[in-house]
């Protein structure tokens, strides 16, 4: 494991101002303990802001080899246990897609996890494909949705036909990748002319982010980038997309899942959180609330601007 420093993903600058000091020591052990909903500990490395364009990011952060190894071996059982609630969120995401693309076509969900969005899209008439680095997640996806195609591998190495899809989605994915601009340019080639891209990313200018400050729940070691409407728009335009639209995202979790996540923090009331996390009643109580994410829609521009 090595921590590395990276330039700004939006403007390429290398001068940063501190935002929040790290809550995780550089030698805190296996980084995988801090990744996914099933993490055993929650915390983050140093958070900084680009002095040129204001993009907020983790810097320094885990090196690419560590990230690839961690995601390939990920088994997120806490995430998988929330399938019913994730289905509700996936339907809301698909409604956002269909607001812009009324007629079902070819869709690829990049960072598909256990395939919930691909399954919901398939049921709505879409020809769906899912891509994820986790072999465990892809195996679960194939079992739950045999009518869709699922591919295991890194985004940066995946090969799909040029102009092969009408829609590309990256729900809760772009903030995890080493080079967002490279990923956006790559998936852009998979889109047909005038195809649509849909994202869900942390919004560092959201009300939850501003109110919670250094305790914002999306400040996590696995999150490398924290966008705002302005910085995500600039990045998308730079990568050949136009007509960027953003809106707040609402999550749906069981009370048990929320308690489990609270218990991942060192200062959390572990006994209370532990009891709630295993409570049958808490597993049935569903909560819908904003945590500071935004949905983003953008259209492929022909020809690209850069």
- The predicted-structure confidence for 136-187, as pLDDT tens digits, reads as follows 999 999 999 999 999 999 999 999 999 999 999 999 999 999 999 999 999 9
Distances (CA, A) of 296 to 93, 105, 115: 10, 19, 20
Of residues 199 and 288, the one with the higher pLDDT is: 199
d(CA 153, CA 151): 6
Q: Is the pLDDT of residue 89 over 60?
A: yes
d(CA 109, CA 107): 7
Compute the mean pLDDT over every residue in the chain, rounded to the nearest whole number: 92
- What percent of the chain shows pLDDT beyond 70? 95
d(CA 291, CA 124): 28
| Sign of CA pseudo-dihedral 199, 86, 88, 202 | negative
Sequence-ordered alpha helix ranges (H) in 39-179: 64-72, 77-80, 83-100, 116-123, 135-144
Coil, helix or strand for 177? coil
Is the whole-model pTM more than 0.85? yes
> Which distant-in-sequence residues (6+ apart) come within 8 Å of 170 by Cβ?
109, 110, 111, 183, 187, 197, 198, 199, 200
d(CA 188, CA 199): 13
Which domains can be identified in the chain, with CATH numbers?
Answer: 3-300 (3.40.50.150)
Q: Quick check: 114 and 135 in contact, CB under 8 A? A: no
- What percent of the chain shows pLDDT beyond 90? 79
């Amino acid at each position: 494991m090595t921590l590395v420093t990276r330039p700004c993903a939006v403007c390429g600058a290398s001068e940063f101002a501190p935002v929040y000091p790290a809550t995780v020591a550089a030698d805190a052990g296996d980084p995988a303990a801090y990744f996914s909903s099933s993490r055993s500990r929650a915390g983050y490395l140093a958070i900084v802001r680009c002095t040129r364009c204001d993009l907020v990011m983790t810097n320094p952060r885990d090196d690419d080899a560590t990230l690839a190894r961690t995601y390939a071996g990920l088994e997120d059982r806490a995430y998988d246990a929330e399938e019913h609630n994730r289905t509700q969120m996936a339907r809301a995401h698909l409604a956002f897609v269909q607001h812009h693309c009324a007629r079902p076509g070819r869709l690829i969900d990049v960072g598909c996890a256990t395939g919930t969005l691909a399954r919901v899209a398939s049921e709505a008439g879409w020809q769906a494909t899912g891509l994820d680095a986790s072999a465990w997640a892809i195996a679960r996806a194939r079992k739950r949705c045999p009518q869709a195609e699922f591919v295991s591998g890194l985004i940066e190495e995946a090969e799909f036909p040029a102009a092969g899809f009408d829609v590309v989605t990256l729900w809760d994915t772009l903030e995890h990748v080493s080079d967002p601009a490279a990923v956006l340019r790559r998936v852009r080639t998979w889109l047909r002319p005038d195809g649509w891209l849909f994202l869900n990313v942390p919004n560092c200018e959201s009300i939850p982010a501003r109110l919670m400050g250094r305790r914002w729940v999306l400040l996590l070691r696995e999150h490398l980038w924290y966008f705002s409407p302005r910085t995500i728009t600039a990045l998308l335009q730079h990568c050949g997309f136009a007509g960027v639209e953003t809106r707040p995202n609402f999550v749906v979790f069981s009370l048990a899942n929320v308690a489990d996540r609270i218990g991942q923090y060192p200062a959390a009331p572990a006994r209370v959180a532990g009891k709630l996390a295993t409570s049958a009643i808490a597993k049935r109580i569903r909560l819908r609330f904003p945590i500071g994410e935004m949905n983003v829609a953008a259209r492929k521009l022909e020809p690209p601007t850069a």
